[in-house]
Structure 1
Amino acid sequence: MATSFNASHKRKISFADLERTYRAAGPVAPPPSSHSQQPPPPTPQQIQAQRLEELRRQDLARRQSKKPTDRDIPEELASVIVGDGVQRYQQLRDVERKLDAVMVRKRLDISDNLQRRYTRREGVMRVWISNTADGQPWQVVDEGGMGDLGSFDFGEESRATFRVKIEGRLLDEPSEQEDEKEKEKETEKDGEADEKERTTPQKAAQRPRFSNFFKAITIDFSRNPALQPDGYSGIEWRKPQPGPQNATFDPNSSEVSFDTLEFERKSDENINVTINLVRDEKMERYRLSPQLAEILDTEEEDRAGAVQGIWEYCRAMGLQEDEEKRNVVCDEPLRKLFNRDSFQFPYVPEYLMQHLHPLPPIKLAYTIRVDKSYIQGSDGAPPCAPTVYDIRVPLPNTLTQQLTRFHTSKSHLSTLQTIVKVDDDLALLVQKLHQTNGKRKFYENLAKDPAGFVKRWVGSQQRDLEVILAEEGRVEDGEEWRRGGEEGLWGSRLARESAGLFLARNGGSTAGAAAR
C-alpha cells in the first residue's frame, strides 16, 4: 500500500546540497572519448524509408484534418426537407448522447469496482489421505512366500512397500460438509460416501484443482533420519513459477495442476507422517498479534486488510481529530498496539509490520498403516479407509472475474468499428446536406431578384479576389493616385522600392533602359 507523508515533514534542499549528494553517490563518469565508437551513418535505403514514412504520416494527418466530424443537421433544414426526418434525427442524437453518458459512467464504475476490496469468500477443500501396502510379511505368508528356512527377509532386499495417496477436491458449497456428515450418520457408510464424493464428475473450468491453492507440499516422517536408507527424511513438491528462467512453463501440465499426489516408499511398519500445505494466495495473509487481532476481530488478514481495518476502527470510534482525517488520537486498544498516544495515519503500514507474522503451513497428521486389519478392512470398515480433512480455502470472487471480462472484453471491437463507420457516413451525409442547402439558397435568391443578386454576387466575388491577391482597399480612381510630387503616392519610399524590385525581376537590360 502506498504511503503518503505530511507536507510539514518536508525539508527544503538547496542546489548545493543536491550537488553534494550527487557527488557523494559515486565516481563521476569520464567524458566520452573522441575516439569512441559512433553509430554508423544511415544508408540511402534507410533515408528513403524515413522520408516515405514521414510523407505517409503527413498525408494521414492531412486527411484526418479534412475529415468531416459535424453530424448535426441545421434547424433551418427542418422547413425545407419533406417529412419529419430532421426531428426524428435530432431525437436519435439526443438518445445517443444519453447512451454515451451512461456507458462512460458504467465503465468508470467497473474500473472503480475492480480496485475495491470485497468480503473474503471461502470454500471447503476436502482432503482424503489413504495408503496401500504390498509385499508386507503377512501378505507374503498368505501368498506362501516364506524362505527355505522358514524365515522372512527383512534386509535391504525386502519388497515390503507402501503407497500413499493424497487427494483433494473443492466442495461445491460450504454447506456440503454438514450435509455429508448427516448423511454419514444416517447410512453409517463413511467409506462409500467418501468414495462417491471423490468420484463425482467435476468440470475443471468451474472448479479449481487441488494444487491451485498451495505453492508447496511437504511430508515429514516421524522416524530417525539415520534409519532412513532411501530418503524418508522428507518429501517435497514446489509449484513451478512462470518467468524468464522457466521458459517451458505450462499452467495446465500435470506438474502444476493436479488433484492427486502419490508417493511410494519401503517399510513394513506403521509410520506417523505430517503433511504440510503451504498456502498460495494472491494477497499474502499474515497471523496477527493478539493486540491487533483484538481490534480487527480476526486472527488472519493481509496487509491491506489490516490497514483498512485500522482505518474503519478509527472512523467508527471517532478518533480522527483534524479535517483531513490524518491525525488519530489513540484509545486504550490502539495505545497498547502502537505504544503511543497519537499517530498520523499514513505511518500505519510501518507500525503494523511488527504485528504481522507469516502464517504457518496447514499441518495434517496421518499414520501410514501396513497392518492387515487396515489394508483388508475389519469391523465393517472398507479396505484402506481414508482419513478425511476439511480445509477452508479462499475462493476467487466471481464478481471480480465478470467485471474484468467486461472491462477487457474484445468481443465488441467489431461493433465499435461498425459504429465508427456509421458515424463517418453520417458526417459525410450532413456535409452533403450543407452543400445542397447552399446551392438551394443561391438559386432561390437568384430567382427572387436576378439583377440585384448578380450585382451583389459579383461584388462579393471581387472582394474575395482582392483578399486573395492582397490588394484589398485599392481604388485606382482615387485622388491619391493622381497626385504626384514627393508627398504623393508615387514619390513614397514604398513606390521606389516596388519599382526597384520590378526592375530587378525583369533583368539588367530592362534596368539599364530605365536608367537611360
Structure 2
Amino acid sequence: MDHKAAKRRKLTDKSLPNVILQNPDFAEDSQMYQSLLEMERKLDWTITRKRMEIQDTLSRNPSTTRTLRIFVSHTVSGQSWQAGTESDNLTHSETGENIPAWQLKIEGRLLELPQRGKDKGPPRKFSTFIKRMMVEFDRDTNVYPENNIVEWPRATGHHNPPLDGFTVRRTGDVPTHIRIVMYLDHYPEQYRLNPDLSSVLGIKEESLLGVVQALWNYIKIQGLQDKADRRLVRSDERLRAIFGVETIPFQKLPEYVKRLLSPPDPILLHYSFDPSLPVVEPERPTAWDVEIKMEDAALKNRMGVMLHTNKETSVTLAKMDEEIALLAQSLHNSHLKRTFLQSFADDPAKFIQTWLESQSRDLESVLGAGASEGLTLRQEELRRSEFFRLPWVEEAVSVQEGLRLASKGM
C-alpha cells in the first residue's frame, strides 16, 4: 500500500509534467503539441500577472465613496405645556422632577448602495466615522453660564466603545440654536489643498497619493519631465510660483506636496428649536447627507476570493494535474518504447550486444560483483571452467548465432 501511495504521489507531482513536457524529442514535429505548450505558457503568464495586479491592489486597500446620513432631533421634558395640573408644575430640585429640560440626539448610518443591496456583515457604528465632534449651544450666558460646549474626541479602548449615536441633555425652556462641528474619519486620510495648487490640479480635497498622482498627470500632459534626466521635473510658470524651485526630483514630489496640504474643513450642522412650544405632531429628525471615503470591503473580499481558491476548485485542479501527469508519463513511456524498438530495427546485432552488456552490468550490481567490490563470489565463479558449461551458455550461443544469421539475411 505504501509503494502504491508513493507511486501515486510521484505521478501527481506538479513538477513531473513540466520535466516531461518541456520539449521531448517525439513532440518536435507535432504542431498541435507545440501550440498547446505555447498556450499553456501564455495562460500561466496571464494568471501570474493578474494575480500580481490583484495583490498590488489589495496592498493599497481599495477605497470607495459612500454617503453618511446624519440625523439630529430633540425631545423635551418638564416643560410648562407638558404639565397637566398646577401641582404638577411644582419642581423638585433634589430629584430633578418637573425641571424644564431637553435632550439632543445625533445619530447616523451609511446609505445602502442600490446596485449592491445590503452590506454583508454588521453595520459600522456611527462613532467610528468621526474623529472628533463639538456641540456648541447658543444660549444666554447669564442664565446658562456653563456647559455650553460639549466635545467628544474619539479614543480607542474599552472605556470609549463604538456608539450608534450621541445624546446631550440640558435644562432650559428657552429657544436654543445648536452648532455641530464634526471631523470625519476618511480612509485614506484626506487633505485640503493650497488654493494655488488646487486651481492647477482642479481638486480641493484629496488623499496624499491622489494629489501626487494628479500632479504627475499634469507633469506628463505639460511635458515637464527633463529630456536628459528623467528623474527631474522642470517647473513651468505655474509650478514655479507654487513650489518656488526650478527643478524638482521625482522622488521628492510627495515631500513638496505635503507642504501645501492642511487638514480638511469640518462638517458644520446648524439646528434650532424652542422647547417651550408644544409639538402638535411628532417631529421628524432633520437629516444631512455627507460623503465619506472608506475602505471598499466588498471589492477587497471579491479580489481576495480570486487569490484564494475554494475547496472545490482546488480539488478539481488537483484532479486535472493528476490526469495530466498520468498522460505525460504514458507519453514518456511510449516514447521510450518507440526508441527501444527503433534501435533494434536499425541494428539488431549491436542492439542485442548492448542490451546483454547492460543486463550483465545490472546482474553484477544485484549480486554485488561490481568492479569496486574486489574478489567476490561472482568473480570466483567466472574463473572456473565449469561455469561456462552450464545450460544457459548453450542457449546464449544459439541466440547470438541466430541474431548473426538474421543480420546477414537482412
Distance 1:323 1:117, change over 3 A: farther
Instruction: Give the aligned residue type for 1:214.
Output: I
Please point out which of 90, 112, 136 is paired with 2:79. Answer: 136
Residue type of the alignment partner of 1:103: I
Secondary structure at the residue paired with 2:291? strand
Larger strand fraction of residues? 2
Give the match for residue 342 of structure 1.
247
- Residue matched to 1:419: 317
What's the CA shift string for 1:187-220, capped at 9, x where partnerless? xxxxxxxxxxxxxxx8353976644532333323
Name the amino acid aligned to 1:165: K
* 1:153 matched to 2:82: no
2:210 match: 305
User: Which digits, 9 at most, give the CA deviation of each residue in 1:57-113, with x for residues without a partner?
Assistant: xxx9xx9899671454967599xxxxxxx9988876665444333322332343455
- What residue identity is the alignment partner of 1:383? P
**Distance change in 2, residues 1:155/1:104 (3 Å):** same
Equivalent residue, structure 1, for 2:288: 389
* Alignment counterpart, residue 356 of structure 1, candidates 243, 253, 261: 261
Cα deviation 1:119-178 (Å, max 9, x = unaligned) = x854443323111111112222xx01447xxx753856453221222233444579xxxx
**1:318-353 deviations in whole A, cap 9, x for unaligned?**
222234433223223212211223332322222233
Give the TM-score of the pair, scaled to structure 2.
Answer: 0.67
- Aligned with 1:205 (options 120, 123, 138): 120
Contact 2:186–2:292 (CA<8 Å) still a contact in 1?
A: no
The alpha carbon displacement at 1:114 in A equals 4.8
Once residues 265 and 257 of structure 1 are traced to their aligned partners in structure 2, the CA distance between those partners, rounded to angstroms, is 20
Q: Is the 8 A contact 1:131 1:369 kept in 2?
A: no
Decide whether the 8 Å contact of 1:127 with 1:388 is kept in 2: yes
The corresponding residue for 1:458 is 356
Q: Distance in 1 between the 2:352 and 2:222 partners?
A: 85
**Which residue in 1 is equivalent to 2:130?**
214
CA separation of 1:164/1:435 partners in 2, compared to 1, >3 Å: closer, same or farther?
same
Match of 2:104 in 1: 164
Letter in 2 for 1:69: L
Structure 1 residues 422 and 90: CA distance shift in structure 2, 3 A: farther
Is 1:405–2:308 an aligned residue pair?
no
Aligned residue type for 1:161: A
Distance in structure 2 (CA, Å) of the matches to 1:426 and 1:390:
58
Rounded to whole Å, the distance in 2 between the matches of 1:87 and 1:342 is 57
Structure 1 pair 146/170, CA: closer, same or farther in 2 (3 Å)?
Answer: same
Structure 1 residues 226 and 417, CA, compared in 2 at 3 Å: closer, same or farther?
Answer: farther
| Separation (CA, whole Å) in 1 of partners of 2:54 and 2:338 | 50
Q: Which residue of 2 aligns with 1:256?
A: 162
Ranges in structure 2 where 5+ consecutive residues have no aligned partner: 1-5, 374-410
Alignment-mate amino acid for residue 45 of structure 2: A
Contact preservation (8 Å) 1:284, 1:302: yes
Cα distance change, pair 438–64 in 1 and its aligned pair in 2 (3 A): closer
Distance in 2, matches of 1:344 and 1:450, equals 76
- Asked whether the 8 Å contact 1:319–1:329 carries over to 2, the reply is yes
Q: Residue 99 in 1 paired to residue 37 in 2?
A: no
Between 1:421-430 and 1:65-74, the stretch displaced more is: 65-74
Letter in 2 for 1:307: V
User: Could you tell me how far apart the structure 1 residues matched to 2:233 and 2:34 are?
Assistant: 56
Structure 2 CA distance for aligned equivalents of residues 387 and 132 of structure 1: 13
Distance 1:346 1:441 in 2: 61
Q: Within 5 Å, give how 1:102-141 maps onto structure 2.
A: 102-114=46-58, 122-140=65-83
Identical counterparts, % of pairs: 31
Contact 2:132 2:152 in 1 (8 A): yes
Gaps in structure 1 of 5+ consecutive residues: 1-59, 79-85, 175-201, 472-516
Q: CA deviation at 1:399?
A: 8.2
Report the AA paired with residue 99 of structure 2: R
Q: How far apart, CA to CA, are the structure 1 residues paired with 2:348 and 2:292?
A: 89
C-alpha root-mean-square deviation of aligned residues, in Å?
4.6
Partner of 1:482: none
Partners of 1:447 and 1:317 lie apart in 2 by: 75
Please give the alpha-carbon distance, in whole angstroms, between the structure 1 residues aligned to 2:25 and 2:163: 66
Is structure 2 residue 293 aligned with structure 1 residue 376? no
CA distance in 1 between partners of 2:348 and 2:248 (Å): 87
In the alignment, the residues of structure 2 paired with residue 343 and residue 366 of structure 1 have an alpha-carbon distance, to the nearest angstrom, of 48
Q: Which digits, 9 at most, give the CA deviation of each residue in 1:39-65, with x for residues without a partner? A: xxxxxxxxxxxxxxxxxxxxx9xx989
Does structure 2 retain, via aligned residues, the 8 Å contact 1:111–1:407?
no
Question: In 2, are the aligned partners of 1:110 and 1:403 still within 8 Å (CA)?
Answer: no
Structure 1 pair 453–343 and aligned structure 2 pair: CA distance change class (3 A): closer
Change (3 A) 1:266 1:341: same
Q: Which residue of 1 aligns with 2:386?
A: none
Is the counterpart of residue 320 in structure 1 residue 199 in structure 2? no
- TM (normalized to structure 1)? 0.55
Read off the aligned partner of 2:162 and give its amino acid letter. Answer: V
**In 1: Cα distance, 2:287 partner to 2:177 partner:** 16
> How many corresponding residue pairs?
353
Is the alpha carbon distance of 1:295 and 1:354 closer, same or farther for their aligned partners in structure 2, counting shifts above 3 Å? same
Contact kept, 8 Å, 2:232 with 2:248, in 1: the verdict is yes
What residue is the counterpart of 1:43 in the other structure?
none
Which one of 256, 263, 267 corresponds to residue 172 of structure 2?
Answer: 267
1:235–1:227 CA distance, 2 compared to 1 (3 A)? farther
Q: Contact (CA 8 Å) 2:179, 2:270: kept in 1 or not?
A: yes
Distance, in Å, in 2 between the alignment partners of 1:389 and 1:345 is 42
**Residue in 2 that maps onto 1:69:** 16
